[in-house]
Amino acid sequence: MIDIIATYAAALSLLVGSGFVLVGAIGLLKFNDSMTRLHAPTKVGTVGIGMLLLGSMIDTFISGDTSIHELLIMAFLFVTAPISAHFIAKVNIHRRACDTPPAPPRDSTWSTLDSPEGESQ
């Protein structure tokens, strides 16, 4: 009975992951600006690949084998995807290939833990 439930869970995980990867690929092709194009592979693609790896882990578990490869791939992906997205965004900002982000406000509290005058803790 648990084998049937695990098989359905793995199949559902693979279907959801495939859907997310498909949406990420379509978004990568459809968006015009490089900054909006950045969201498709980093956000949607990461969740899609994570679901595909989860389906693989469930299938490996129900077959009686143990594998840590999927966990290592997932950890590597979740660590490197935000870093690469940050670098791509910084390159686009420095090349002035996108709109310049707004300047921070001119007070001394925008990047500190100081509270503005008049506000109490």
Span 46-59, pLDDT tens digits: 889 999 999 999 98
Residue 108 pLDDT greater than 80, yes or no: no
- pLDDT digits 0-9 by tens, 13-44: 999 999 998 988 888 888 887 777 777 777 78
- pLDDT for position 102: 72
Q: For residues 41 and 25, what is the distance between their CA atoms, to the nearest angstrom?
A: 7
Mean pLDDT confidence for 103-115:
62
User: What integer pLDDT is reported at residue 4 of this predicted model?
Assistant: 92
What is the average pLDDT score of the chain? 81
Mean pLDDT of 88-106: 74
Mean pLDDT of 52-72: 88
Q: Residue 103's CB: how many other CB atoms inside 10 A?
A: 6
Looking at residue 88, its pLDDT comes to: 80
Q: Over 90: is that where the pLDDT of 11 sits? A: yes
